[in-house]
Amino acid sequence: MKQSQKLFNHSQWVIPGGVNSPVRAFGSVGGIPLFIQRGRGAQIWDVDGNVYLDYVGSWGPLILGHAHPEVVKAVQRAAEKGLSFGAPTEAELQMASLLVQLVPSMEQVRLVSSGTEATMSAIRVARGFTGRNKIIKFEGCYHGHADSLLVKAGSGALTLGQPSSAGVPEQTVANTLVLEFNNTQNLRETFQREGEHIAAVIIEPVVGNANLICPQDDFLKNLRELCTQYGSVLIFDEVMTGFRVALGGAQALWGIKPDMTTLGKVIGGGLPVGAFGGRRDIMQCVAPLGPVYQAGTLSGNPVAVAAGLATLKLIQAPGFYEKLGATTQALCTGLTQVAVKRGVAFSAQQVGGMFGLYFRTGVPQNYAQALDIDIERFKGFFHAMLAEGVYLAPSAYEAGFVSASHTLADIKKTIAAADVAFAQIV
Q: Check 46, 54, 55, 237 and give the catalytic one.
A: 237
Dihedral angle, C-alpha 130, 265, 213, 54, nearest 10 °: -170
293 assigned to active site? no
52 assigned to active site? no
Polymer length in residues for the chain: 426
DSSP type of residue 35: P
Q: Check 52, 142, 367, 391 and give the catalytic one.
A: 142
Which of 333, 315, 338, 335 lies closest to 405 in space, CA to CA?
315
Collapse the DSSP code of 99 into the 3-class scheme (helix H, G, I; strand E, B; otherwise coil) and give the result.
Answer: helix
User: Is 62:78 a contact under the CB 8 Å cutoff?
Assistant: no
* 101 DSSP β-pair partners: none
Find all residues with CB under 8 Å of 12, minimum gap 6, and list them. 18
142 assigned to active site? yes
Neighbour-count burial of 343, counting CB atoms closer than 10 A to its CB (0-12 exposed, 13-18 middle, 19+ buried) = exposed
Q: Check 265, 367, 397, 410 and give the catalytic one.
A: 265
User: Is 378:28 a contact under the CB 8 Å cutoff?
Assistant: no
Q: What is the phi/psi pair of residue 24, to 5°?
A: -65, -15
Residue 59: CB atoms within 10 Å = 19
Enzyme catalytic residues: 142, 237, 265
